[in-house]
A and B are shown apart, each in its own frame.
Chain A
Amino acid sequence: MKKNLLTRIALATTTAVAMVGLAACGSDEPSSTLSEGDWDSVVAAAEDEGTVTIYSSQGVAQLEDFAAGFKEKYGITVEIVRDLDSNLLPKLDAEVRTGQPSVDVVVTSTESVMQQYSEDGTFAEPVAPVFDEVDVMRGENYFDVDATVITFAWNTDQYGSTVENYEDLLDPELKGKIGVPEPTVPAFVDFYLYLEDLYGEDFSEKLAAQEPKIYPGALPAAQALSSGEIAAAVYVEPQVDAKEAGAPVDWGFEDKQWSAVFYGGVVAEAPHPNAGQLLVDYMLSVEGQSKIARNAAAIRPDVPGTVATTDTVHRLDLTEITPEVIAEYQAKWNDLFR
């Protein structure tokens, strides 16, 4: 009997597509659950899992130090996905919707989203013993991790004077050479509103009149500052590391500082639930804080390498910075800066 190739190809393709669907529905990793025994059994199960994934918008250098410390202590590899909240959260949202998260621990500065995940059961209850030592729980299932102090900085090759405060950035000499963050996330909006609080409501306009360049966040702005692409940055971490590495940069602090508080949560349907709990335990320990909160504010006092504690820093007030306030400011910013 004559065979028809086209039919066969069509059938084969249909089958292949169906198999793709089936293959993708099955997970390629054996699923693991949180150990029901005591903490030691969680640690043992975590070491069996052998790897843990964190999505975080904290500093890259701090995350890498922290991951190295964890690996050294427990032999568990930390996979770091570092990006801005505006990139991480939509992707996390997609993973949560598909019911197949590939992440174990999430750290972001967008409290509204963390709160929602805490309430809707996306986050599991943290069980690490460290929570008996420190009072960091914000809602049922999310907690403070640390807070990055954000400030201004300038390139000493490009700009001869010293910047004492944000108002100095309005120097006509800096026109076209400043970097500002794009308010894609609530924290950035809060930062602009903090500036308006300090210097009056027209400060955003004055800043926009400087024709600044727009950066997605603190890290790219810091790179642009070191390279001389911009002469001053409005929103960067204290440039301790860059200056030590020999980059021509300096920074200062406003009297009343602004900071971004980072919140953490352990994902309930995580692929490595035990390692996730253990990672959080380490993250909030003195050793973990000395790495993850280096040059930032720690959740506990007397942590070497940190500059403050989270109970003293500025914190975004969810009752004031509502979605309406955010949308309103974003619209204003778009008018002014774009």
Chain B
Amino acid sequence: MSVALEERPETTPDRPMPVAQSMAWARARRRFGVWALLLVVAYLVGMPLIRLQGLAFEDGGAGYERALDTPALAELLWRTVYLALGSMVVAMVFGTTLAYAASRLPQRAGFLRTIPIIPIVLPAIAMVVGWAFLLSPGPGYLNAALRNLPWWDHLESGPVDVYSLPWIVIITGFGLTSFIYLFVSAGMANISADHLEAAHVAGSSGLGVFFKIVLPLLRPSLIYGAGVGLLLGLGQFTAPLLLGTNQGIRVLTTQMYFSTSQIPVDYAGAAALGSPLLLFGVLIVIAQKLGIGDQTRFVTHGGKGTVRRQRPSRWAAGFIVLYGLVAVVLPMTGLLIVALSPFWNASIDPGSFTLDNFRTALQSPNIIESIVTSLVASIAAVAIVLPLGYAISAILLYRRGMPVARSLLDFLVALPLGIPAVIFGAGFLLTYSEPPFVLYGTTWVIILVYATLMLPFATRMMTNGMLALGSSYQEASWVNGAGRLKTHVLIMLPLLRGSIGGAVALMFVLLTHEFSASMLVRSPMTQVMGTVVYDFWSNGAYPTVAAVSIIMTVVTGAGVAVAMTIGGRDVLSKL
């Protein structure tokens, strides 16, 4: 198109220059726009990471020296890897089995497909606290119940110790299961039912089909899921922080946090400790970009999926319900009992149940303020990241030329997914407590870190929406003489409203219970819900912790309900 326009001056000699000039001018402006956007994203994503490394290398790498002096550093690293691998394996086993079960649900039980996703939506800190109330070796309710069994009745505590590394791994794994479930379910949707039917007809059992047909065909999604699981596992913070402290079980992320929460405070050491995770995250993102490359190659015809129907299985529904009971209902019940009790101990006394803890929580100005801050920060972050994500997707998908700027943009946007939120939190704390933007202590620093963390999600969901739309609508609009802006506003935005609604809903839900980055950027007077729960947890008032966790879950639950109203019932599976 541009070639045709550039030739025009020769054919219309009366008005040659203005058109060419205006074209060149428009191109320059467009280039400027892309570079300006790149600058904003680079500052948001890159600056905190650069500041961190700068600090770690200050004074001849003093931060690295101190990090290397960390007591039992080898064990710390080993534990970090163990947590990542272990929770990834737990999540892979449960996630894959759940996805297979979901694919074999009877028609009427289709709604059960949402159950494995619920743990993503619930605040991780509430779930972890719930598990502690159930499985603390002494007063844990579930432990107390298990000690009634004949083979455990001699025990004074246990049999389960939620504060031990294996259980931290298992509980973290529960949290990651939802992610694996989503990836594997997506992969499973691509398996042709004909193969499975053929195997069934040939006499293979359900188990045989799963191991001989489904698993091998799922290999790409499994490998991708395992990679993401590993990455998420390496960055896990909540369960090791809340459960690992009592027995001195630290991983890199919690050690980083403790370096910033001691006297004297050691930001440089914390920055250095985060480096392995930073490096690994960057490598994974690069590998993924090289592996996938140009996303437009993956455009397939949309909306013509064949109706697959696998043989329904009764155990499938049973398994999913059982999982929901264990992973969701159990910890929430633990929370509820403690929240209703005057204090937490092994015996449950319904006679003493009281709403006092909820009253205390709701009367505390700190808690109300934290709920407001969470909501405001989440909404503001979504409002910032949504146009950013839209513009980035449009540039990455439709823009030709400028390969350097586009690759950089693509890479920067993906970083927050590969690098643990704790590292971004530390980087934001450093970057925004010094000029030029002194934002520490205000809600703005929380908003910016939230927006940064959501960049990959916003961009990815917009990109998916645009890919599914294809380019024919835009081309039709252009051919009919509409400009780019008009095309975006009148054609693209209305067509993408599903994706946009879904993105808004999902990001809002993820942000209202963000914990890891918030822990580092919060100030004593600017707290969010998760950090307030942690403060109550570490300052010791368990019934209040439980009550606040439940309130937090209700607020998030309301968010999910709104999300489903805006984005449709399947909004959660769009991750």
Contacts and interface: CB of A to CB of B under 8 A. Distances in A.
B343 A86 contact: no
Contact of A228 (B139, B440, B524): B139
B110 interface: no
Contacts of B250: 338
Interface in A119-167: 158
Contacts of A234: none
Nearest to B156: A158
A8 B387 CA distance: 11
A6 B395 contact: yes
B33 A11 contact: yes
B186 interface: no
Contacts of A226: 343, 345
A93 interface: yes
A2 B484 contact: yes
A222 interface: yes
B537 to A, nearest CB: 8
A83 B522 CA distance: 14
B346 interface: yes
Contacts of B138: 158, 227-230
Interface string B348-376: 00000000000000000110000000000
B544 to A, nearest CB: 10
Nearest to B487: A5
B470 to A, nearest CB: 19
B37 interface: yes
Contact of A86 (B263, B346, B388, B447): B263
B484 A90 contact: no
Which of B245, B263, B395 has the most chain A CB atoms inside 10 A of its CB? B263
Interface stretch (B220-228, B230-238, B431-439, B458-466): B431-439
B136 A229 contact: yes
Interface residues of B, number: 75
B403 interface: no
A24 B437 contact: yes
A91 B263 contact: no
Contacts of A158: 138
A207 to B, nearest CB: 14
B30 interface: yes
B384 interface: yes
Nearest to B25: A1
A95 B441 contact: yes
Which of A87, A213, A224, A228 has the most chain B CB atoms inside 10 A of its CB? A228
Contacts of B287: none
Given A2-B484, A83-B535, A14 B36 contact: yes
Given A8-B485, A94-B440, A214-B248, A186 B263 contact: yes
B200 interface: no
Given A94-B440, A184-B263, A10 B523 contact: no
A10 B488 CA distance: 15
Contacts of A223: 344, 540-542
A5 B484 contact: yes
A227 B36 contact: no
Interface string A7-41: 11111111011001101110000000000000000
Interface in B233-265: 245-248, 250, 258, 260-265
B378 to A, nearest CB: 16
A43 interface: no
A44 to B, nearest CB: 25
Contacts of A222: 540
A10 B439 contact: no
Contact of A6 (B34, B43, B438): B34
Interface string B413-442: 000000000000000010001101111111
A97 B538 contact: no
Contacts of B43: 17
A13 B442 CA distance: 20
A35 B390 CA distance: 53
B305 interface: no
B539 A98 contact: no
A13 B40 contact: yes
Contacts of A7: 29-30, 32-33, 36
Contact of A229 (B40, B139, B365, B525): B139
Contacts of A10: 32-34, 36-37, 40, 391
Which of B71, B394, B429 has the most chain A CB atoms inside 10 A of its CB? B71
Contact of B538 (A17, A25, A90, A216): A216
Contact of A3 (B247, B384, B483): B483
A55 interface: yes
B448 interface: yes
Contacts of B263: 85-86, 89-90, 110, 113, 184-186
B33 A213 contact: no
Contacts of A82: 539
Nearest to A331: B71
Contacts of A213: 163, 246-247
Given A24-B438, A97-B434, A4 B261 contact: no
A84 B163 contact: no
B437 A21 contact: yes
Interface of A: 1-14, 16-17, 20-21, 23-25, 53, 55, 60, 79, 81-95, 97-100, 102-103, 110, 113, 158, 177, 182, 184-186, 213-217, 219-224, 226-230, 245, 247, 323, 331, 334-335, 337-338
11 contacts: A4-B26, A24-B437, A89-B263, A90-B263, A90-B265, A97-B433, A102-B523, A102-B525, A185-B263, A221-B540, A226-B343
Given A79-B365, A220-B540, 12 more contacts: A3-B484, A4-B29, A6-B34, A9-B388, A20-B437, A24-B444, A85-B263, A87-B538, A90-B260, A103-B525, A182-B245, A215-B246
